[in-house]
Chain A
């Protein structure tokens, strides 16, 4: 052995000990009857044996804990699971890049409108002890999904949370009895329909195909997904990628500068979260002549 190697061998070894999770409640683990859904509540088969492994929900709880709202967040989740049952709700955690603030959104799907127990008034009542909604369904609408979006202020101080109603490929914000057009979404198979994705993207006002690098918005690990959604919003455009791997989510969190504790949670639980697929989205806005991510989010279901 040469002298250099002996020297290196004497260096102290720092154990890669995982940081403790921020959440104080024990993590939830998958049972034999767990079901797995992507962010449009389409069911998928887990990519590895799931029994005993961590549920996606734990990452949501960790985000609540990171914001100092673990108890409030858990109470909200309990209310929904008690009232609606498991495996019916999609959740999203958003990071607002300008401020670094986190916010959350819960999505309630019923494409066929087959579930009598899923109505906007019923969910409004269910959430009432925890969240106050700013809007309602002004008249019966042919929605397939509605969502409730809230930040720390809404959860902590019960400031009004926004209600968005999704009809076909559009979404409307419901406020004080009025509906305001918000976003338009199109969904495409990632690989077979890539030309439609490119067409939609090239037509986005916040993306310049001659100046902006597509790989910055759609790196290879995100292209390796199930579906790509292109969205046009009032102040930005957005891309969403469904059913990406845990490794791709970890890279996404790093690329968009998510809080280190959340990245650490993913990193140190990679094995016990490895059965899951995730969904992510990024809103981008033209700033300084370039498409610039202004908000990113990741999604799971419970």
Chain B
């Protein structure tokens, strides 16, 4: 009998797991590890990055803004259970206002040591987020390159399950384990995890796909869907990260790439993997709802243009065109003649696509002019109300620099506003951002 497509099966319905990253702050330290995972995302940081010292952690927490909306402190490294200071970090975290949970991300190899586990729990840790990558010792030890680690991890899981702390798990999906995901869920169920997460290989530090370890998403899909189905059957809401949404079918609601804000060396982000999808310009899910594929994956396996299917968004057109006219304009080199116009015409066209025009009123201010920066890539929109003026500057989106507001393609800041007009400037900037965001699906540039 041929196996049916797992996406045809009506999944048991559970609401997605609580979005813990949004209410969490991750504190990283102890960049050492007793395993050597073949897919490690901090391999270049191990034994190199100093991590956040306890003193730095305490000093940083003196800024109340750091804890705004935070109810959970997460400790991660490296393997933080190797640090003798972990109880002190946890105890301090418990003293912080608004903190209801203290979590560690761990491989659990040391947590079968029940006195140690109890020490950590007594210090305030109530959640253990355990990495679990294979259902048997042979595959596990191949993935983490340490003998006898599997038995240690099972002992750790058993100890957590019998403790007062909550267990959740995280499985990295890579080529060697991609067809064992359902068995991984089965292996975990006796320990009653509150949640099971599947993280498709996140190739930080593997920009050129030298590890050749990413599994093809089309190969992963049936196993992942069966694993998700099994978790839901057992009453556990799963989470999937960094997997194309269009391949998840009815399980797409469990895709959530969010990660908590982190105290970590800026150098860590220099090698954050880039993502893209060949359909990102025509798929309504592209961007925050779906990252697509990592550049590293595309290097290894290609764009998967025949596997992925865009969820078509309505096309925004500023002027109606007949089908033939649209085709001629699209296909002709003459189209590019349109770009070689005056700056004023280019800016007017750019504004129009975002429902903005000279004279438009936003938050009580009138858009009176716009100018391209001469030396920098920025568009300055000048607003006035009576004798008051202020400026909203729009530049290409760059997550490395601060911005007052961001859309898929742009960063927005306000300028040339007197202190008395600052509140107005914020409102105007927000209004401009809303107008742009309504039509901005990413990948857009400044006029010109």
Answer yes or no: B249 CB below 8 A from chain A CBs. Answer: no
Q: How far is the CA of A214 from the CA of B305 in the complex (A)?
A: 9
Answer yes or no: B336 CB below 8 A from chain A CBs. Answer: yes
Q: How far is the CA of A150 from the CA of B267 in the complex (A)?
A: 46
Q: CB-CB < 8 A to B299: which residues of A? A: 215, 219-220
- State which residues 221-247 of A face B: CB under 8 Å: 221, 223-224, 226-227, 243
Which of B315, B335, B372, B441 lies in contact with A187, CB distance below 8 A?
B335
Interface residues on A, range: 35 or more
- State which residues 295-334 of B face A: CB under 8 Å: 295, 298-299, 301-303, 305-306, 315, 330-334
Q: CB-CB < 8 A to A192: which residues of B? A: 281-282, 315, 441
Q: CB-CB < 8 A to B378: which residues of A? A: 45
Which of A45, A194, A221 lies in contact with B377, CB distance below 8 A?
A45
Which listed segment binds A: B29-37, B253-261, B271-279?
B271-279
Q: How far is the CA of A109 from the CA of B340 in the complex (A)?
A: 10
B: number of interface residues (CB 8 Å) = 43
- Nearest to A145 among chain B residues (CB) is B333
Answer yes or no: A198 CB below 8 A from chain B CBs. Answer: yes
A144 and B373 in contact (CB under 8 A), knowing A191-B442, A192-B282, A194-B279?
A: no
Q: How far is the CA of A169 from the CA of B396 in the complex (A)?
A: 31
Q: CB-CB < 8 A to A128: which residues of B? A: none
Q: CB-CB < 8 A to B335: which residues of A? A: 187
Q: CB-CB < 8 A to A42: which residues of B? A: 336, 339-340, 448
- Nearest to A218 among chain B residues (CB) is B303
- Nearest to B292 among chain A residues (CB) is A220
Q: CB-CB < 8 A to B443: which residues of A? A: 190-191
In contact, B373 and A169 (Cβ under 8 angstroms) = no
Answer yes or no: A41 CB below 8 A from chain B CBs. Answer: yes
Q: CB-CB < 8 A to A189: which residues of B? A: 281
Q: CB-CB < 8 A to A44: which residues of B? A: 445, 448
A188 and B302 in contact (CB under 8 A), knowing A40-B336, A46-B377, A144-B337?
A: no
In contact, A190 and B274 (Cβ under 8 angstroms) = no
Which of A48, A144, A214, A220 lies in contact with B333, CB distance below 8 A?
A144
Answer yes or no: B115 CB below 8 A from chain A CBs. Answer: no
Answer yes or no: A47 CB below 8 A from chain B CBs. Answer: yes
In contact, B372 and A220 (Cβ under 8 angstroms) = no
Q: How far is the CA of A47 from the CA of B396 in the complex (A)?
A: 8
Answer yes or no: A86 CB below 8 A from chain B CBs. Answer: no
B 241-260 to A, binary, CB cutoff 8 A, 1 in contact else 0: 00000000000000000000
Q: CB-CB < 8 A to B373: which residues of A? A: 45
In contact, A111 and B336 (Cβ under 8 angstroms) = yes
CB distance from B237 to the nearest CB of A (A): 32
Q: CB-CB < 8 A to B441: which residues of A? A: 191-192
Which of A41, A198, A214, A226 lies in contact with B445, CB distance below 8 A?
A226
In contact, B303 and A45 (Cβ under 8 angstroms) = no
A213 and B336 in contact (CB under 8 A), knowing A191-B442, A194-B282, A223-B278?
A: no
B 423-448 to A, binary, CB cutoff 8 A, 1 in contact else 0: 00000000000000000011101111
Answer yes or no: B400 CB below 8 A from chain A CBs. Answer: no
Q: CB-CB < 8 A to B377: which residues of A? A: 45-48
- State which residues 197-224 of A face B: CB under 8 Å: 198, 209, 213-215, 218-221, 223-224
- Nearest to B316 among chain A residues (CB) is A192
Answer yes or no: A71 CB below 8 A from chain B CBs. Answer: no
Q: How far is the CA of A160 from the CA of B343 in the complex (A)?
A: 39
In contact, A193 and B298 (Cβ under 8 angstroms) = no
Answer yes or no: A289 CB below 8 A from chain B CBs. Answer: no
In contact, A50 and B339 (Cβ under 8 angstroms) = no
- Nearest to B279 among chain A residues (CB) is A194
Q: CB-CB < 8 A to A214: which residues of B? A: 278, 302-303, 305
Answer yes or no: B206 CB below 8 A from chain A CBs. Answer: no
Q: How far is the CA of A209 from the CA of B304 in the complex (A)?
A: 11
- State which residues 266-292 of B face A: CB under 8 Å: 274, 276, 278-282
Answer yes or no: A32 CB below 8 A from chain B CBs. Answer: yes
CB distance from B249 to the nearest CB of A (A): 22
Q: How far is the CA of A166 from the CA of B337 in the complex (A)?
A: 13
A-B contact pairs, 18 of them (CB 8 A): A46-B376, A46-B377, A47-B377, A48-B377, A49-B375, A144-B334, A169-B331, A169-B332, A186-B332, A187-B331, A187-B332, A188-B330, A192-B281, A192-B315, A192-B441, A194-B278, A220-B276, A220-B299
Chain A residues in contact with chain B, CB under 8 A?
32, 40-51, 109, 111-112, 144, 166, 168-169, 185-196, 198, 209, 213-215, 218-221, 223-224, 226-227, 243
A42-B336, A220-B299 known; 14 new pairs, CB 8 Å cut-off, are A32-B375, A42-B339, A43-B343, A43-B448, A47-B377, A49-B375, A111-B336, A169-B334, A186-B332, A192-B281, A193-B281, A194-B278, A214-B303, A220-B274
